[in-house]
Amino acid sequence: MKLILGRRVRSALRGFKVPETFESAAYDDAAGRERLTALAARKAPLRLHLGCGPRLIAGWVNIDLAYQPSADPPRGEGEGAPGTAEDFYAIDVTRGLPLPDGCVEAVFHEDFLEHLSQRDAVAFLAEARRVLLPGAVHRVNSPDLAASMREYSDFARGLEGTYRDEWDRWHHVNVFTPRYLEEIALMVGYSRVDFNRRDGSVSELMPRELRPAPDSRREDGNLFADLVK
């Protein structure tokens, strides 16, 4: 679950058993913002891993609403060294990123974008573009609505044949198709959108991708896209 949703989309959390500390973190992320602002002041390019959950990647700014320590965090072969609590920043990104323009060399997230409302998703894509360096890549890994509907829906049966678990089971709010994602990305100012496969980013900076999980959907049920500034 991506706890980074924030207060503007708390309704999406109603189906979850969310510890009170996670929800309250969305209201007070001043400490995380102060730490990130100080890090950016060092003037070294940053790499942002958003909606990280228990997967912390060393050398990246791992952002979520609350730190989720795990004795066995999800890892993939070749993904790189795991991060520590020092690599984690508790920040609600739907309230913006406390970073100057053009200071980030890579943005990465898996199964995160679909948990934002349409309003917050558009604003988030614009905010991520703002902080990216020219030519840098924003890697989006998110369920593909078109693939999901093709596989599980029988629209000739109307409502009864519509696969609603895409929203109800996984608590998704705003699921993208390739065309929809590309249109929004170009609208907010990205120069192009390249669709590829898992671990197929045009940027060599991206970590190994672990989503989708084998028990949730096939690899071809997700969008793997590079949004290039």
Strand partners, 104: 46, 132
Listed in sequence order, the DSSP H helices in 29-137 are: 30-40, 118-131
User: What pLDDT shows up at residue 189?
Assistant: 98
DSSP 65: S
More confident residue, 115 or 74: 115
Tokens of 52: 């990280």
At residue 9, the pLDDT reads 38
Distances (CA, A) of 186 to 55, 66, 118, 151: 30, 31, 15, 28
**% pLDDT > 90, the chain:** 75
Type and span of the H or E element at 183 = helix 178-188
β-pair type (88-90, 104-110):
unpaired
pLDDT in tens, 39-83: 999 999 999 999 999 999 999 999 999 988 765 655 554 456 788
Integer Cα distance of 131 and 124 in angstroms: 11
Tens of pLDDT, residues 169-226: 989 999 999 999 999 999 999 999 999 999 999 999 999 999 998 788 899 999 999 9
pLDDT at 208: 94
Residue type at position 21: T
Tell me the pTM: 0.85
Does 91 have pLDDT greater than 80?
A: yes
> What pLDDT score does 153 carry?
95
In angstroms, the CA 111 to CA 8 distance is 18
Per-chain mean pLDDT for the chain: 87
Residue owning tokens 């990465």: 108
- As a whole number, mean pLDDT of residues 106-125 equals 97
Q: State the average pLDDT over residues 85-112.
A: 97
Cβ neighbours for 46, distance < 8 A, ≥ 6 positions apart: 39, 40, 61, 99, 103, 104, 105
- The mean pLDDT value for 151-157 works out to 95
pLDDT tens, position by position, 11-26: 333 332 333 344 444 4
For residues 182 and 228, give the distance between their C-alpha atoms in angstroms, rounded to a whole number.
11
Residue predicted with more confidence, 165 or 213: 165
Q: How many CA atoms lie within 13 A of 12 on its CB side?
A: 23
Distance, in Å, from the CA atom of 49 to the CA atom of 72, rounded to the nearest integer, reads 19
Note the pLDDT of residue 81. 75
For residue 73, the model assigns a pLDDT of: 59
What CATH architecture applies to the domain 3-70+82-228?
3-Layer(aba) Sandwich (3.40)
| Pairing outcome for strands 192-195 and 222-228 | antiparallel
Most distant CA pair in the chain: distance in Å?
A: 58
